[in-house]
Structure 1
Amino acid sequence: MASGTITSSEYISHHLTNLTFGNHPENGWSFAHSAVEAAEMGFWAINVDTMLWSLGLGILFLWLFRKVAKNVTAGVPNGTQNFIESIVEFVDDNVKGIFHYKNAVIAPLALTIFVWIFLMNTMDLVPVDWIPYVAGQMGIHFMKVVPTTDVNATLGMAFSVFGLIVYYSIKQKGFGGFFAELAFNPLGKWLLPFNLFLEVVGLLAKPVSLALRLFGNMYAGEMIFILIALLPFWLQWILSVPWAIFHILVITLQAFIFMVLTIVYLAMAHDDH
């Protein structure tokens, strides 16, 4: 991009390519200088920008909530404390309304999921050229700042939830009970192979749908911002501001859906019927 004029397709490809580090067949361990190089690195490649921004925003979340918790007052709260308390109360109400078992992990997990995903989604509201331009001036070829537009990140979160689903299913029902739940529903023991196929597919569909729903919505939103950035400058402001306002609903809704479905799936894992 620093060399001058680029085509629209090159511009889009650049903004959709992660800063990837991995083992390239020809260059050894290095950062990818093109989308093709990134693809050729295969499984052992790591998207550095996804890790950087997701961990950074996670640390921001922990620091802010810990700071408010340490300085909480019983009297009239300040604006930050009031805002944090409203988020905690909102998440707590959703957990109590869906999850009717005793488990100290669920509410903190739901709070973490909601706030962390919301913060990652919110990075989509930063103008698409600002941070990549600064990174380019520092010699960094690519810089995607929205971790949830990377399917690796959304799948990582979804499979973590899936691990908890399996763990609590076995913990609450035993391995035999968990297997029976998969093998004997919905058509009874005489159609065990068919039941097992249906239930295993349904079980595996949970993390996949969680990941792809979040990824698809955020990726589409980012793509629209990139396409708007290709338009004349005066038209960008006319279109980007309304879309950004609407997108606030999208980023909040996607964090909420991921949180609620996590609570629902873990409640189902605790059910013994």
Structure 2
Amino acid sequence: MIHQFASSLHISVKADEILQVGGISITNSHLLGALGLLVLLWIMLRTRAAALGKKKPNFVTRLVNWTFDGLYGTVKQVIQDDVWAARVAPLTITIFFFVIAQYWLGLLPFVGPVTVGEHSTPLFRGGVADLNMTFGLAIITIIAAQVYAFRYLGFRGNMGRYFVNPLKDPIMSFVGILELVAEFSRLLGLSFRLFGNVLAGEVLLIMIAYLTKYASPAMLQPFYLFELFIGGIQAYIFFMLSTVFISLGLTPHGDHNESSHAHVHSPVDISKKMTENENK
């Protein structure tokens, strides 16, 4: 019975190839990812038109504006320098909207059941359910953190976070090595965390649909609502971690001169300040 149950289910960890264009493999995650990008672009253009008074605001445009204001306020809490917050916010907020759009589109009813080919390959798969997508987003975040750090600290200042003369300061030299290892761990952590949560959500929905059979349309509704909530949480976590990782690159190690970097605070300081504000 267990063998029959396992053999009747097929869960693919990697995205499946649908076709090839000019020798380039197009997977089912690419198809839904492109669709999600077009939908997100249309929503943003519609929101911009509403903000300029060219279109009448609706629930979606108001929700986007409200979310943007909240996220921008979060960036300003993490990076308490208005100039640098304005520079970092466009990237991290865009990542939030992209991730949440890709996550939610992966929950549509036609994602999974619609198949092609003799092996019944799903035609669509969530964009962030592909490790290549989450890994790409993580690479963009880590590279952006280095770019911002180079612009803020300069070449020598940024390299000084990683490479210190061990004869002059052996402790900070060891800390620099740890910081290099931390950069790679952040890259892997960002990519695998999002991918793992999306894959777990897909497996959950597949298992519930299989176990409930004909009652699945009714039984899946609470789980769909749960996944919508989880999608928002995962997008916010990715956004928050990206913002924090970038802010960490704006402060050199061993620099205790508050006058030179008075506007950049560590995540611990930020959490303390947020707690104090809530108590007030």
Q: TM-score, normalised by structure 1?
A: 0.77
2:193 maps to which residue?
A: 213
C-alpha displacement of 1:270:
1.8
Query: Is contact 1:148-1:154 (8 Å) kept?
Result: yes
Q: Which amino acid aligns with 1:64?
A: I
Change (3 A) 1:169 1:153: same
Report matched runs for 1:108-127 at 5 Å.
Answer: 108-127=90-109
Count of matched residue pairs: 246
The structure 2 residue matched to 1:189, chosen from 157, 169, 175, is 169
Q: Which amino acid aligns with 2:32?
A: W
The structure 2 residue matched to 1:175, chosen from 150, 155, 164, is 155
Query: Is contact 2:134-2:191 (8 Å) kept?
Result: yes
Q: Deviations over 1:40-99 (max 9, x none)?
A: xxxx97452222222321221122111221233399943233222112212211111112
1:66 maps to which residue?
A: 45
Stretch of structure 1 that moved more, 55-64 or 101-110: 101-110
Query: Is contact 1:228-1:240 (8 Å) kept?
Result: yes
Q: Deviations over 1:106-138 (max 9, x none)?
A: 2221221111100111134224xx344434389
1:243 maps to which residue?
A: 223
DSSP 3-state at the match of 2:249: helix
DSSP 3-state at the match of 1:125: coil
The structure 1 residue matched to 2:234, chosen from 254, 259, 263, is 254
Change (3 A) 1:146 1:131: closer
DSSP 3-state at the match of 1:182: coil
Q: Deviations over 1:179-210 (max 9, x none)?
A: 2212349xx82246633431111111112111
Write the distance in 1 (CA, Å) between the matches of 2:15 and 2:55.
Answer: 47
1:54 maps to which residue?
A: 33
Report matched runs for 1:161-172 at 5 Å.
Answer: 161-172=141-152
1:19 maps to which residue?
A: 16
1:198 maps to which residue?
A: 178
C-alpha displacement of 1:215:
0.7
DSSP 3-state at the match of 2:162: helix
Change (3 A) 1:82 1:196: closer
1:158 maps to which residue?
A: 138
- Name structure 1 gaps, 5 residues minimum: 1-6, 23-28, 31-43
- Name structure 2 gaps, 5 residues minimum: 256-280
Report matched runs for 1:132-151 at 5 Å.
Answer: 132-136=112-116, 141-151=121-131
2:266 maps to which residue?
A: none
Change (3 A) 1:242 1:165: same
Change (3 A) 1:76 1:154: closer
Q: Which amino acid aligns with 1:242?
A: P
DSSP 3-state at the match of 1:13: coil
Write the distance in 2 (CA, Å) between the matches of 1:95 and 1:115.
Answer: 15
Query: Is contact 2:111-2:126 (8 Å) kept?
Result: no
**Identity %, equivalent residues:** 21
